[in-house]
Structure 1
Amino acid sequence: MRRLVALSALAVALTACGSPQQAADRSTLPVEPTTPSVSPVAPVPPSSAPTTPTQAATPASGRCTAAVLTAEVQPAEAGAGSRYGKLVVTNNGSTPCTLNGYSGLQLQDASGNALPTDLQRTPDPSPAPVVLRPGTAAAANLRWTVVPTGDEPADKPCQVEPAQAAAIPPDETEPMNLRWNYGPVCAGGKIEISAFYAA
């Protein structure tokens, strides 16, 4: 009889607490499957249109020097008491060069001695860069007088007749030598000269 009472009490206790398997099932929480987080990727902008290659800039040409220039005076029509001509320089080098401004000019005798020269610049045309490709030329206008002035003699040449001249390119110091076949230059060797322009 005591055994039956003990078994009955054990059965009631098990019923109230549940079976060991049910307790284990209750203590286990369901785990949801995890998915790896993926960071949003910024959209790639469309590639820009292909750029057109830029042409290499043309290198600036250096100044024209006496080493690459030849010079001559070309006569023009004469006026009453005045003579006109052009100082023409040609690029005999292998690369372009630039003239910008006025030439120097010194009259000389056959031995290279300086003769009276009064070079005066005129504003027309005014200075502007002139690029001379190999074989091309530029010119400067010249004007001088054959009429004696002041104390210059009227019964003989007003000045010693030049045989040559030295012309210096703008901003340079070395001269170009050229022949002068146009007689004496009166008024103390006065010569008007313009800036260089494309010939």
Structure 2
Amino acid sequence: MSRPASLRPRLAPLRPRLAATAPFLAALAAIAPLLTACGTESTGAGNTVASAAVPPTRTQVDDPGKDGVRITSLTLPSASPPASASPARSHPVSAESLGTDPDTDSGVIAAYEVTNEGTETLTYSVVFTFMSGDGGAVTNQSATVRDVRPGKTVRGTVRAGGLPPGAPRITRAEVLDVTKIPAGEAPAEPGTCPASGIRVSADEGDAAMGLRVVGLHLDNCGTRPYTVEGYPLLELLDDDREPVDGVKILDGSGEITTGAGPDEQPRPVTLRPGESATAGLVWRNTTESGTPVNVPYVRVRAKAGADPVTVTPGLDLGTTGKLGVRPWKKADPR
């Protein structure tokens, strides 16, 4: 049954309200392209992609490894859309340009694991190499993994770090070199002091025209004076940390070169707490007839009766059969 006309709801006229909103709709239409452009980039084909950073990709790595160390995964920054797809950008960002600022981390991370298959607790020093697609090395990074007990596996990560401008994109990583030292003979961790109060270490050395020089450093980090006299006592060890035969250890470096300066006479050196002394290893890597000798490990005692510390200077002695040792002398105050 129909309602009386007086009871039917009245509809407000629409045309005046639409007319009132017309200016607003026109303004909205004018700014719509600007709103659409915010937060998106044109792909050049009528589609848009969000400008938010694409998350990095993490890839599992089937790496046989080396000496108990292997890479398990590699995290790489994801590629951005190509430059031609972003006409609005005057400086498009691509994966190749990520991390090219030396002060900016490249975002490349290698996960690794270290498994001690031996019978004694070891400290591992590992060099990782990060490579481009053509197999060329882009950068090397080192990691020290301390006190790995027999039969145990320790996991960690190493970053490629900042890369120089123009560096190629990293796509691979491998274990380049591994050295293993009994934990009790490993150089003390930076900033720590052994129970002996004496810290022994080796620097990265210097090489020029076949001449090699590596510095040994002795720091008194304890609370009592410490005196040494003469030359550090050395044992040369092979890959299995067994003694190397056939190499003559010389007092001084005069028989090897005069380029390292004149030999100094050994004299007593007393180090107060906080003071340091230096000595030096000098050799040539000349190779003639015979088999070249490489010495990865050197066991060092600051003096007779001192606790041994094993360093890894990597002596490439060639066929010379000689290693010169310069005496301890007090280091200049820092």
Alignment TM class, shorter chain as reference: 0.5 to 0.7
In the aligned structure 1, how far is the partner of 2:281 from the partner of 2:318?
14
In the aligned structure 2, how far is the partner of 1:114 from the partner of 1:101?
23
Identify which of 261, 279, 283 aligns with 1:140.
Answer: 279
Shift of 1:193: 0.9
1:115-130 aligned at under 5 Å gives the runs 115-116=244-245, 117-122=247-252, 124-130=263-269
Task: Tell me the equivalent position of 1:15.
Answer: none
For 1:194, give the aligned amino acid: R
Task: Tell me the equivalent position of 2:213.
Answer: 84
Runs ≥4 residues deviating over 3 A:
none
In the aligned structure 1, how far is the partner of 2:329 from the partner of 2:278?
6
Task: Tell me the equivalent position of 1:49.
Answer: none
1:93-112 aligned at under 5 Å gives the runs 93-112=222-241
Identify which of 153, 166, 182 aligns with 2:299.
Answer: 166
Q: Residues 195 and 160 from structure 1, CA distance in 2 versus in 1: closer, same or farther, beyond 3 angstroms?
A: closer
1:3-152 aligned at under 5 Å gives the runs 67-116=196-245, 117-122=247-252, 124-152=263-291
In the aligned structure 2, how far is the partner of 1:111 from the partner of 1:68?
29
Shift of 1:178: 2.6
In the aligned structure 1, how far is the partner of 2:315 from the partner of 2:266?
29
How many residue pairs align between the two structures? 127
Q: Residues 184 and 137 from structure 1, CA distance in 2 versus in 1: closer, same or farther, beyond 3 angstroms?
A: same
Cα deviations across residues 45-86 of structure 1 (Å, max 9, x unaligned)?
xxxxxxxxxxxxxxxxxxxxx933222222343121111121
Alignment root-mean-square deviation, CA: 2.4
Asked if the contact 1:115/1:160 (under 8 Å) is kept, the reply is no
Specify the SS of the correspondent of 1:185: strand
In the aligned structure 1, how far is the partner of 2:318 from the partner of 2:305?
26
Point out where structure 2 has 5 or more consecutive residues left out of the alignment.
1-194, 253-261
Q: Residues 166 and 175 from structure 1, CA distance in 2 versus in 1: closer, same or farther, beyond 3 angstroms?
A: farther
Q: Residues 118 and 143 from structure 1, CA distance in 2 versus in 1: closer, same or farther, beyond 3 angstroms?
A: same
Task: Tell me the equivalent position of 1:8.
Answer: none
Identify which of 309, 320, 325 aligns with 1:193.
Answer: 325
Identity %: 24
For 2:208, give the aligned amino acid: G
Q: Residues 150 and 173 from structure 1, CA distance in 2 versus in 1: closer, same or farther, beyond 3 angstroms?
A: farther
Q: Residues 110 and 149 from structure 1, CA distance in 2 versus in 1: closer, same or farther, beyond 3 angstroms?
A: same
In the aligned structure 2, how far is the partner of 1:120 from the partner of 1:96?
28
For 2:278, give the aligned amino acid: A
* Larger of the two Rg values belongs to structure: 1
In the aligned structure 1, how far is the partner of 2:294 from the partner of 2:325?
21
For 1:147, give the aligned amino acid: T
| TM-score after normalising by structure 2 | 0.34
In the aligned structure 2, how far is the partner of 1:149 from the partner of 1:73?
28
Point out where structure 1 has 5 or more consecutive residues left out of the alignment.
1-65, 153-157
Q: Residues 135 and 188 from structure 1, CA distance in 2 versus in 1: closer, same or farther, beyond 3 angstroms?
A: same
| TM-score after normalising by structure 1 | 0.55
- Using CA pairs below 8 Å that are at least 6 residues apart, which structure has the higher relative contact order? 1
For 2:217, give the aligned amino acid: V
Q: Residues 175 and 111 from structure 1, CA distance in 2 versus in 1: closer, same or farther, beyond 3 angstroms?
A: farther
In the aligned structure 2, how far is the partner of 1:112 from the partner of 1:76?
21
Task: Tell me the equivalent position of 1:182.
Answer: 314
